[in-house]
Amino acid sequence: MSTIEDDQPLSPAGRLFVQPATNQIINGVLGLERPIELASVRTVISDSLMIKHPRFSSLLFTDKHGREHWRKTNVDIDRHVIVRPDPVGVGDTNSDCYTDRDEEVVNGYIADLTVSCPLTTDKPLWEVHVLTAHKCVVLRIHHALGDGISLMSLMLTLCQKLNDPDQTPTIEQTSPTRKRRKLGTLDNIIKVLKIIWFSLIYVTEFIMRGLWVKDRKTVVRGGEGVELWPRKLVTSKFSLEDMKMVKSKVANATINDVLFGIISSGLSKYLDSRSPGYLQEGLQITGVALVNLRPSPGLQDIKELMKKNAGTAGWGNKFGIMLLPLYYHKNQNDPLHYLKRAKMMIDRKKLSLEAFLSYQLGYFVMKFFGAKIASILNYRVICNTSFTISNVMGPKEEITVAGIPVTYIRTTSSSLPHAITMHMVSYAGKADMQILVAKDLIPDPEKLAKFFEDALLEMKEYAIKI
**Residue 54 CB-density burial (10 A; 0-12 exposed, 13-18 middle, 19+ buried):** middle
Residue 363's pLDDT band, with cuts at 50, 70 and 90, is: confident
Q: Identify residue 166 by its one-letter amino acid code.
A: D
Q: What is the mean pLDDT of residues 10-18?
A: 86
H/E stretch holding 445 reads: helix 445-465
H/E stretch holding 231 reads: strand 231-239
Cβ atoms of residues 81 and 138 within 8 Å? no
- Residue 295: predicted pLDDT: 60
Residue 331's pLDDT band, with cuts at 50, 70 and 90, is: confident
Residue 2's pLDDT band, with cuts at 50, 70 and 90, is: low
Two domains, one topology: 4-161 and 186-395+414-465: yes
CA nearest neighbour of 378 among 96, 31, 24: 24
Cβ atoms of residues 220 and 267 within 8 Å? yes
Q: What is the mean pLDDT of residues 343-347?
A: 95
- Residue 186: predicted pLDDT: 84
Q: Where are the domains of the chain?
A: 4-161, 186-395+414-465
Query: What's the gap between Cα 251 and its chain centre?
Result: 26
Asked which of 47-61, 115-129, 179-193, 242-256 is least confident by mean pLDDT, the reply is 179-193
Contacts 24+ apart (CB under 8 A), 200-206: 201/352, 202/322, 202/323, 202/349, 202/352, 202/354, 203/352, 203/353, 203/354, 203/357, 203/358, 203/361, 205/323, 206/321, 206/323, 206/354, 206/358, 206/361, 206/381
- Residue 267: predicted pLDDT: 95
Higher-confidence position of 287 and 85: 287
d(CA 104, CA 96) in angstroms, rounded, equals: 17
Higher-confidence position of 168 and 387: 387
- Residue 246: predicted pLDDT: 96
- Average model confidence (pLDDT) for the chain? 87
Q: Which residues of 221-253 are buried (b: 16+ CB within 10 A; e: fewer)?
A: bbbeebbebebbbbbbebebebbebbbebbeeb
Asked which of 9-18, 187-196, 386-395 is least confident by mean pLDDT, the reply is 9-18
What sign has the CA pseudo-torsion 214, 112, 13, 235? Answer: negative
Query: 186-395+414-465 is classed in which CATH architecture?
Result: 2-Layer Sandwich (3.30)
Higher-confidence position of 29 and 6: 29
Cβ atoms of residues 245 and 253 within 8 Å? no
Residues of the chain with pLDDT > 70, as a percent, come to 88
Tell me the sheet residues that pair with 126: 141
pLDDT per position as a tens digit, 238-287: 999 999 999 999 999 999 999 999 999 999 999 999 987 778 888 999 99
pLDDT of residue 112 exceeding 50, the answer is yes
Three-class SS state of 7 = coil
Nearest 5°: phi and psi at 227? -60, -15
Q: What is the mean pLDDT of residues 315-323?
A: 80
pTM above 0.85, yes or no: yes
Tell me the sheet residues that pair with 387: 287, 420
pLDDT of residue 375 exceeding 60, the answer is yes
Roughly how many angstroms between the first and final C-alpha of the chain, as a whole number?
65
Which of 52-66, 174-188, 364-378 is predicted most confidently? Answer: 364-378
Q: Which CATH superfamily is domain 4-161 in?
A: Chloramphenicol acetyltransferase-like domain (3.30.559.10)
User: 193 vs 137, 187, 196, 203, CA distance in Å?
Assistant: 49, 10, 5, 15
- Residue 71: predicted pLDDT: 92
pLDDT of residue 400 exceeding 80, the answer is yes
- Residue 93: predicted pLDDT: 45
Which of 52-56, 169-173, 189-193, 233-237 is predicted most confidently? Answer: 233-237
Question: What's the DSSP call for residue 395?
Answer: B
- Residue 410: predicted pLDDT: 95
User: One of 142, 143, 329, 418 is an active-site residue; which one?
Assistant: 143
Q: What is the mean pLDDT of residues 82-90?
A: 67
65 is known as an active-site residue: no
pLDDT of residue 455 exceeding 90, the answer is yes
H/E stretch holding 3 reads: none
pLDDT per position as a tens digit, 19-37: 999 999 999 999 999 999 9
d(CA 400, CA 392) in angstroms, rounded, equals: 19
d(CA 32, CA 98) in angstroms, rounded, equals: 9
Q: What is the mean pLDDT of residues 223-234?
A: 96
pLDDT per position as a tens digit, 120-157: 999 999 999 999 999 999 999 999 988 877 778 778 88
